[in-house]
Structure 1
């Protein structure tokens, strides 16, 4: 089967189309013919070697984590799925595995039936950012209409899910986005929108109970300027050293930094499935064919787009 792999850390130039054996399955696994996989920032952080403490340096590596497709085989202990089922899911360990291939073998606990209301490209975009959004909301604690939340970089894939889920919980949300993202932020539930090309949120007088930086550009040090005395900053793009450092720093300040690490599972997918039933919007910005995976990553890594970027397989 064809797969996208790389044999050393680096930029998109290291990505290659290779031939790999079709994976065999264990008794608790399903084999999925991949129809699409989505692109996430963690993909290139791993590929560039920024996460090598967790990913290791064993090659080759595949890229991509979440996918959609059709089950073509199921292990002897798998129940609840049949050959031909349309599903979406995620690889078990995105630090060491990838979904960028014609077939993936994964535990049946990491795939879910695709709702008929969405297509394969949309389904492939759910698991990583959707789980991260649900996890981030868990970290926020009790929120209501009096909770003022700032979402910086609000209209990428993560923000798309987060804004809509926060709207369902009634929080007062201010979204920071580009000019082209303003209308999307409003549609997805933001109460107020700041166009960063026209206003600097750090120079405004408003302060927030919760600041979550999805762009990775604001950082905790800057965010403290606009945080209330007792507030939290959610770090969704931590460097490995920031995980222990945040715990230490929190001992000495009421403006807490909380690292968000997510792990897909059934409780998160149930939340997302219910959100889909209630009209969750999944915006696909651009779809690339499999033989243009390198170009897809080049496009995605430039940033500035709305929603998700997806690679589609025949």
Structure 2
């Protein structure tokens, strides 16, 4: 089978497609034939070595976290699935390996693919969809009537977060570049700010929640836009960042939360239900496996709004 691997940290050039034996499964495992896998910012932060404290430095490493495909084999102890079932799911966030023709998982890491969406769309759901769910429902606890600002709203997490915040009854202000104005508006944002034309400090209102998906909005700036008792959510977990967020939240009514993604099968089922009920999955560009370096280069440079997917079969 073909699989994307790398033997050292670096840019997209470290990624290589290699031929490997098809994995053998244990009694509790399933072998999934991957139809599509999606690209996430977390992928390039890991292969560039920006998160080596969490990912470790043991090589070779695989790339890609979330996928969709069909069950090829089931272990003797597996009861919930059978060969031929269409599923979507995720691998360990820091180990990766979804960019492969076959992956090995347990039942805890997959859910049935909704019949109403394609394999490409299903592959685009797990990481960014679960991140948006965790931010909106757990870290920020967004509710009816709240004012929510999403900075960097035209990426995968942002376009899901807009929809989820609207479903929870919030009023959403999306901050995007020129190319993100249309998709943010189409997915329900009440107000859209082009950051190339208006600085956030010029906004007149104050917010119950600010979600920074760009990694470019410091808490010291965001706090001026927050109500006295409000929540700021950021994306990059690091030891210093987590300590700083803890103390800022301890001594201020303005809370700083940092997303530490916790994928679950229950979360996948929630996403499946949302997709069945109309959640839009913005897959903008599809690549083949041979173009994986190009795929990561273009997405990391912000040339793809929404989600990019690599098709394997």
Is TM > 0.5 for Structure 1 vs Structure 2?
yes
Q: How does 1:58-207 map to 2 (within 5 A)?
A: 58-91=58-91, 93-137=92-136, 138-141=138-141, 143-145=143-145, 147-207=146-206
Matched-pair contact (CA < 8 Å) for 2:210–2:226? yes
**How far does residue 32 in structure 1 lie from its aligned partner after superposition?**
0.6
Q: Which moved more, 1:272-281 or 1:128-137?
A: 272-281
Query: Which residue number corresponds to residue 236 of structure 1?
Result: 235
Query: Which residue number corresponds to residue 20 of structure 1?
Result: 20
Matched-pair contact (CA < 8 Å) for 1:51–1:240? no
TM-score normalised according to structure 1 size? 0.96
**Structure-2 separation of matches of 1:100 and 1:304:** 21
**Structure-2 separation of matches of 1:43 and 1:302:** 13
TM-score normalised according to structure 2 size? 0.96
Matched-pair contact (CA < 8 Å) for 2:90–2:110? yes
**How far does residue 205 in structure 1 lie from its aligned partner after superposition?**
2.4
The 3-state SS of whatever aligns with 2:270 is helix
User: Which consecutive residues of structure 1, in runs of 5 or more, have no partner in the other structure?
Assistant: none
**Structure-2 separation of matches of 1:13 and 1:249:** 39
Matched-pair contact (CA < 8 Å) for 1:178–1:304? no
**How far does residue 97 in structure 1 lie from its aligned partner after superposition?**
3.0
The 3-state SS of whatever aligns with 1:205 is coil
2:305 corresponds to 1:313: no
Query: Which residue number corresponds to residue 32 of structure 1?
Result: 32
Matched-pair contact (CA < 8 Å) for 2:113–2:272? no
**How far does residue 142 in structure 1 lie from its aligned partner after superposition?**
5.3
The 3-state SS of whatever aligns with 2:67 is strand
**How far does residue 202 in structure 1 lie from its aligned partner after superposition?**
2.2
**Structure-2 separation of matches of 1:168 and 1:206:** 21
Query: Which residue number corresponds to residue 288 of structure 2?
Result: 289
Count of residue pairs the alignment pairs up: 312
2:232 corresponds to 1:216: no
The 3-state SS of whatever aligns with 2:30 is strand
Kindly provide the CA deviation profile for residues 275-303 of structure 1, in whole angstroms up to 9, marking residues without a partner as x.
11221111111111101101100111101
The 3-state SS of whatever aligns with 2:239 is coil
**How far does residue 143 in structure 1 lie from its aligned partner after superposition?**
1.4
2:241 corresponds to 1:226: no
**Structure-2 separation of matches of 1:173 and 1:59:** 42
Q: Stretches of 4+ moved more than 3 A in 1?
A: none
**How far does residue 263 in structure 1 lie from its aligned partner after superposition?**
1.4
The structure-2 alpha-carbon separation of the partners of 1:106 and 1:302, relative to structure 1 and needing over 3 Å to count, comes to same
Matched-pair contact (CA < 8 Å) for 1:214–1:237? no
**Structure-2 separation of matches of 1:14 and 1:305:** 21
**Structure-1 separation of matches of 2:4 and 2:273:** 33
Q: Which moved more, 1:186-195 or 1:237-246?
A: 237-246
The alignment's C-alpha RMSD in Å is 1.3
**Structure-2 separation of matches of 1:90 and 1:125:** 11
Matched-pair contact (CA < 8 Å) for 2:3–2:97? no
User: Which consecutive residues of structure 2, in runs of 5 or more, have no partner in the other structure?
Assistant: none
**How far does residue 110 in structure 1 lie from its aligned partner after superposition?**
0.8
